[in-house]
A and B are shown apart, each in its own frame.
Chain A
Amino acid sequence: MSNSSQNDSPSPNTTRLTGSEIVWATLVGEGVSDVFGYPGGAILPVYDAMRKFPIRHILVRHEQGATHMADGYARASGRVGVALATSGPGATNMVTGLATAMMDSVPIVCITGQVSSKVLGSDAFQEVDITGITLPITKHNYLVTRAEDIAPALREAFLVARSGRPGPVLVDITKDAQQAYAEFNFDAAAPKAYRPHPMRGANADSITDAAKLIREAKRPVILAGHGIIQSEAYEQVRTLAERMKIPVASTLLGLGCFPASHALSLGMMGMHGEAWVNEAIQKADLLIACGMRFDDRVTGTLATYAPNAKKIHIEIDPAEINKNVKVDVALIGDLKQVLEILLPHLSTRTSSPWLREINESKGECAVRDIKNLPDNGHLYAAHVINDLWNATDGKAIVVTDVGQHQMWEAQYYKHDQPRTLITSGGLGTMGFALPAAIGAKIACPEKEVWVIAGDGGFQMTAPELSTIAQENLDLNIAIINNGFLGMVRQWQEFIYDKNYASSPILSPDFVKLADAHGIAGATVSTRSEVESAVKSARASRAPFLINFLVEKEDSVYPMVAAGAALHEMIRRPDNPMIETAEDA
């Protein structure tokens, strides 16, 4: 970003604009149509210029909401989400959303106003060192102090956000840079030399070694992660699975990348994965990890993880190789590309006794147990989510919060399509669901969007109901209300001898709260009411909130306790529902 542009004679595409106008013109040039933001002193010049440009601005109620909306927008559509805030508190409120996007590799660009460059570092009003604060939770960030640097910084920010392993980028722009004039030329501001991702010395034998391992494996499992969605490698993964008859286990963020209804789909692995999924991984002789990072919630204790399996790791980020699990073959690169190189080395496998073995172990099935339970007057979260899945034909975009309901959603809502489950996996951010769903609905207005949140997490970002009302968004909200911070309570039950310290939580009447925002709603406390309530929500062309009063002390099963081996699962007690109901 040099002075050279001033010396060049302006090309026909060059216009003289204020820094603020350059911000919007660059966003428009990058294909941005929606921005989530909140105005304030240091970003007011940008807001002053906003209405000259064809961009929809969604006024949020808290800047954390803006970042989650940009995040939900990106996850639902694959496009870069954009959030805008002022300096100081506006910028610090974005921290949680940036960290959420960082952990889940979601491409968002956050633009913050900053005090004038002349007073930087002087503790001016609403000054905060946001590039310093966000350094470890952004893929990269920029402090821009001159109008002529805005377009190159923003364009590079978009490229950094979406290339390689995607991630959040923050661009902090001083107020004087927003107010000054500069020549603007979108094309000339394109990043010149940029390396999209790291490389290591290539070994041509690796592909053939990987193919050999796959051909010779008797008990292979594909571990399907978020990278499949980000690389859009659905077809390639499906071809690999079908051609070689390999079952597919998914991470939480990978759900939807491989159809849940497919015969080779095992479902979610890890801490709350079904027993047969984790058992298959533990018994496997080959794991093919596709765009996943062996998170501790997926592996259980590493000492006993998949002890007999060779491991192939296909991953775009070399820093993930051998980070948690030592692998035998590492294929570094874009997943789709790597699989396209690998697939020609594999010819069709005809039979697999391994699949039969896994299918037989499915007999012991917690999901089926719950579905078959009679309607005994009590309402269980599993019923709610199962019925919601049925009613929506499994086709809605479901945005979940964090906790028990999140795991139940992952277990009982079967996702056949990618980008239909949006959830905070790595950071586990409570309060994520409501704003992220707003982002998803803005990105995909034609899709049916459901929020599933707990009574605790919902209250963290509930003011965004007002955003929904102001934007008149047709999205539906299901609150799984058990009067507890449910997952905290479950851990207290299992590990802390039922010492329920600060896990019971009082909530407002959520239907009245919705009503105060002009949003219709209903409270449901028995299973027979679930279907009709969901029906009313779907029929209305407006937002609708359902407050599901569910069994208070139900737990998510099975569970691998933190630090336990993946196959040592806490199983659902016999007749759990009936016992719980009688206790109540």
Chain B
Amino acid sequence: MLHTFVALVEDKPGVLTRVSSLFRRLNVNIVSLTVGRSERPGVSRMTIVAHSSTSAGHRIMASLYKLENVLEVDDMDQVANVSRELALIKVGATPKTRSHIFELVEVFRARIVDLAPESLMIEITGVESKIEGLIQVLIESGDPILEVSRTGRMVMRRGHHTSRVLEAMRVAAEPEGETKNTAVFDLVEEESNFQK
């Protein structure tokens, strides 16, 4: 199944490598990975969509959290959220063949953002199925698609506990196949007992 994780990470060189390397090590394919700045200075937000078994979600999340540069992780699979992707689509079109594309763009609530003698560029935002729907319709109507650039999925929890992962995790439904009975104990001090 597709798993979607949101990770808040330190904005430092090499952090993307650490995150992607973890998926490589688990032999999990990344479907999409989107990175950008978050509401916090020095902190980037990643949305990672990965294809793996149903039960792997917990382990991927726990492994992500083990990375020193990862500040918070949230599993978005079973929570109410808003999911969006942006795509730029360049379609071959002459003045004679443009008009029906304008109609399609209208129906899909997309926009034309560039117009050239032999092509035009469409900007569309929405869930993946909407973007794929537009691409499908363009193909079926015989319009040559010259280029497609997609951002990959961005996801945010609904409600106002957005990035507070600890809060969020208390209300999160336990993924299927997980141990329901789990308790966590804080270390009294920052450091473990290893060095006295």
Q: Which A residues are within 8 Å of any B CB, using their own CB? A: 31, 78-80, 107, 131-132, 135-136, 139-140, 143, 159-160, 162-164, 166, 194-207, 209-210, 230-232, 316-319, 321-323, 326-334, 336-338, 341
10 closest A-B pairs by beta carbon, nearest first, are A333-B185, A206-B183, A319-B62, A140-B68, A162-B194, A198-B65, A318-B62, A201-B170, A329-B181, A201-B169
Report the minimum CB–CB distance from B168 to chain A (whole Å): 9
Closest to B174 in A: A201
Cα distance, A333 to B192, chains bound together (Å): 10
Report whether B195 and A162 are in contact in the complex, using a CB–CB cutoff of 8 Å. yes
Report the minimum CB–CB distance from B69 to chain A (whole Å): 8
Ordered by A's residue number, 9 sampled pairs between the chains whose C-beta atoms are within 8 Å are: A131-B14, A136-B25, A140-B68, A162-B192, A164-B192, A196-B190, A230-B192, A321-B58, A332-B184
Report whether B182 and A206 are in contact in the complex, using a CB–CB cutoff of 8 Å. yes
Report whether A332 and B192 are in contact in the complex, using a CB–CB cutoff of 8 Å. no
Residue total for B at the interface (Cβ-Cβ under 8 A): 39
Report whether A166 and B68 are in contact in the complex, using a CB–CB cutoff of 8 Å. no
Instruction: Determine which of A207, A332, A336 lies in contact with B193 in the assembled complex, contact meaning CB atoms within 8 Å.
Output: A336
Report the minimum CB–CB distance from B109 to chain A (whole Å): 38
**Would A197 and B187 be within 8 Å (CB), given that A160-B68, A163-B192, A166-B194 are in contact?**
yes
Which residues of chain A are within 8 angstroms of B18 by Cβ–Cβ distance?
135
Report whether A204 and B183 are in contact in the complex, using a CB–CB cutoff of 8 Å. yes
Report whether B184 and A321 are in contact in the complex, using a CB–CB cutoff of 8 Å. no
User: Does B37 have its Cβ within 8 Å of any Cβ on chain A?
Assistant: no
Cα distance, A317 to B58, chains bound together (Å): 12
Instruction: Determine which of A132, A194, A316, A318 lies in contact with B65 in the assembled complex, contact meaning CB atoms within 8 Å.
Output: A318
Instruction: Determine which of A135, A136, A140, A337 lies in contact with B187 in the assembled complex, contact meaning CB atoms within 8 Å.
Output: A337
Report whether A334 and B179 are in contact in the complex, using a CB–CB cutoff of 8 Å. no
Report whether B62 and A321 are in contact in the complex, using a CB–CB cutoff of 8 Å. yes
User: Does B164 have its Cβ within 8 Å of any Cβ on chain A?
Assistant: no
**Would A330 and B195 be within 8 Å (CB), given that A319-B66, A323-B59 are in contact?**
no
Which residues of chain A are within 8 angstroms of B17 by Cβ–Cβ distance?
132, 135
Report the minimum CB–CB distance from B138 to chain A (whole Å): 42
**Would A201 and B68 be within 8 Å (CB), given that A231-B192, A319-B63, A328-B179 are in contact?**
no
Most buried by B among A162, A195, A318, A332: A318
Which residues of chain A are within 8 angstroms of B65 by Cβ–Cβ distance?
198, 318-319
Report the minimum CB–CB distance from B83 to chain A (whole Å): 23
Which residues of chain A are within 8 angstroms of B13 by Cβ–Cβ distance?
143
Cα distance, A321 to B191, chains bound together (Å): 22
Instruction: Determine which of B179, B188, B195 lies in contact with A321 in the assembled complex, contact meaning CB atoms within 8 Å.
Output: B179
Q: Which B residues are within 8 Å of any A CB, using their own CB? A: 13-14, 17-18, 21, 25, 55, 58-59, 62-63, 65-69, 71, 166, 169-170, 172, 178-188, 190-196
Which residues of chain B are within 8 angstroms of A80 by Cβ–Cβ distance?
194-195
Most buried by B among A79, A194, A319, A329: A319
Report whether A330 and B192 are in contact in the complex, using a CB–CB cutoff of 8 Å. no
Which residues of chain A are within 8 angstroms of B172 by Cβ–Cβ distance?
201
Report whether A159 and B66 are in contact in the complex, using a CB–CB cutoff of 8 Å. no
Cα distance, A196 to B184, chains bound together (Å): 13
Instruction: Determine which of B58, B59, B178, B188 lies in contact with A337 in the assembled complex, contact meaning CB atoms within 8 Å.
Output: B188
Which residues of chain A are within 8 angstroms of B55 by Cβ–Cβ distance?
322
Which residues of chain A are within 8 angstroms of B196 by Cβ–Cβ distance?
78
Report the minimum CB–CB distance from B36 to chain A (whole Å): 22
Closest to B12 in A: A1
Cα distance, A322 to B186, chains bound together (Å): 21
Closest to A140 in B: B68
Report whether B184 and A200 are in contact in the complex, using a CB–CB cutoff of 8 Å. yes
Which residues of chain B are within 8 angstroms of A321 by Cβ–Cβ distance?
58, 62, 179, 182
Report the minimum CB–CB distance from B182 to chain A (whole Å): 4
Cα distance, A261 to B25, chains bound together (Å): 42
Which residues of chain A are within 8 angstroms of B166 by Cβ–Cβ distance?
199, 201
Which residues of chain A are within 8 angstroms of B71 by Cβ–Cβ distance?
195
Cα distance, A140 to B65, chains bound together (Å): 13
Which residues of chain B are within 8 angstroms of A139 by Cβ–Cβ distance?
68
Cα distance, A195 to B169, chains bound together (Å): 17
Report whether B185 and A322 are in contact in the complex, using a CB–CB cutoff of 8 Å. no
**Would A322 and B192 be within 8 Å (CB), given that A131-B14, A334-B187 are in contact?**
no
Report whether A326 and B179 are in contact in the complex, using a CB–CB cutoff of 8 Å. yes
Report the minimum CB–CB distance from A117 to chain B (whole Å): 12
**Would A202 and B179 be within 8 Å (CB), given that A78-B194, A163-B194, A319-B66 are in contact?**
no
Which residues of chain B are within 8 angstroms of A318 by Cβ–Cβ distance?
58, 62, 65, 184
Cα distance, A330 to B68, chains bound together (Å): 23
Cα distance, A317 to B184, chains bound together (Å): 10
**Would A199 and B194 be within 8 Å (CB), given that A139-B68, A321-B58, A328-B179 are in contact?**
no
Report the minimum CB–CB distance from A243 to chain B (whole Å): 20
Report whether B179 and A327 are in contact in the complex, using a CB–CB cutoff of 8 Å. yes
Contacts A140-B69, A318-B65, A322-B58 known; list 12 others, CB within 8 Å: A132-B17, A135-B21, A136-B25, A159-B191, A162-B192, A163-B191, A166-B192, A199-B184, A232-B193, A321-B182, A330-B183, A331-B183
Cα distance, A196 to B190, chains bound together (Å): 6
**Would A333 and B194 be within 8 Å (CB), given that A131-B14, A135-B18, A319-B59 are in contact?**
no
**Would A163 and B186 be within 8 Å (CB), given that A198-B62, A329-B181 are in contact?**
no
Cα distance, A203 to B172, chains bound together (Å): 13
Closest to A333 in B: B185
